[in-house]
Amino acid sequence: MANDAKIAVLNERMSIPGLAQIVGGNGGLPKIQIETASAAANIYLHGAQVTAWKPMGEDEVLFLSEKSQWLEGKAIRGGIPVCFPWFRAKADDPKAPAHGFARTKEWRIESITKEPGDSVCAYLSTASDEATRRWWPFDFRLEYRITVGKQLKLELTMKNTGVSALRFEEALHTYFNVGDVERVSVRGLDRATYLDNREGNRRKTQSGELRLSAQIDNAYMNASGPVEIKDEVLGRRLKTEKWNSNSTIAWNPWRDGAASMGDLGEDEWCRMLCIEGGNILNSAVTLQREETHAMTVEISAEMLH
């Protein structure tokens, strides 16, 4: 079915008049467009990727690259990609897609519902198929509930639908929109142990607030508490709370890394910072047959007083 016809059918079946509709987004890709009295958001079926979330009266919370590619099989640069079932490169297959296949897979809309507190929940799913088994020989079902309101709540549930145990990594790779990455501070990671990917996952310990002056790719381990970005330029605090997530990842490619990325503008690196919840490396999750695991991340924004 052509995209336009598919979008029309989805919109007729799933839309909520005045609150949520399915429309053609960038590249003609279907997206759920939500607007309530408390917030607006865009969610692409491509990767089940939230690309925008803006509480009413505030600046856009998520960063989205102006050079992002909007093509089937290509990852969207920005928003909140779903990294699954591995993070970074696949350890045993360098040809496998970075951060897994979930972020380039088209997801299915199960429902869109109005929720209490002037919010809307988009419920999407995907499952194993011939294409995923090419890279990862396990059967699974992923369910993703995205609740858009004054807070952005993300609930990712993984079910092992196969006959054997499996082990996976996951992350909700949130690109935050910041005024100037060199003028933000990140709180909540003091004294946390992290693995520095720039130095072969060398083990280090965070001391005090995280401030950036160079490229960063840190995986904080046993870091399950809330994390806050204090943004002096945009005058706000961005808070990430999470449940069943033992890893917090901090990433920015800086000028040198951004120069090699064709889907990131030359100076865009200074307006973004990834702080994300997940379970990666030694916090990867093992599920027995028919077991499930649910990870929740909630994002909020408030003005500095």
Backbone angles phi, psi at 283, to 5 degrees: -105, 10
CATH hierarchy code of domain 3-303: 2.70.98.10
Residue 219 has pLDDT above 70, yes or no: yes
Please say whether the beta carbons of 195 and 221 come within 8 A: yes
Residue 175 has pLDDT above 90, yes or no: yes
Which pLDDT score is estimated for 3? 84
Which pLDDT score is estimated for 305? 76
- What distance in Å separates the CA atoms of residue 13 and residue 194, rounded to the nearest whole number? 46
Conformation bin of residue 92: beta by default, left when phi > 0, alpha when psi is -120 to 50 = alpha
Which pLDDT score is estimated for 2? 66
Q: How far is CA 18 from the centre of its chain?
A: 26
Which pLDDT score is estimated for 266? 87
Chain segment 196-214, per-residue pLDDT in tens: 999 999 999 999 999 999 9
- What distance in Å separates the CA atoms of residue 91 and residue 98, rounded to the nearest whole number? 10
Chain segment 8-55, per-residue pLDDT in tens: 999 999 999 999 999 999 999 999 999 999 999 999 999 999 999 999
Joined tokens for residue 171: 């992350």
Give the three-class secondary structure for 290. Answer: coil
Provide the strand spans (E) within 87-192. 108-115, 119-127, 140-148, 152-160, 166-168, 170-172, 175-177, 184-187
pLDDT mean across residues, the chain = 96
How would DSSP label each residue in 203-268?
EEE--SSB--SS-EEEEEET--S-EEEEETTTTEEEEEEEES--EEEEEE-HHHHHTT-TTS-TTG
If you average pLDDT over residues 117-145, what whole number do you get? 97
Length of the chain: 305
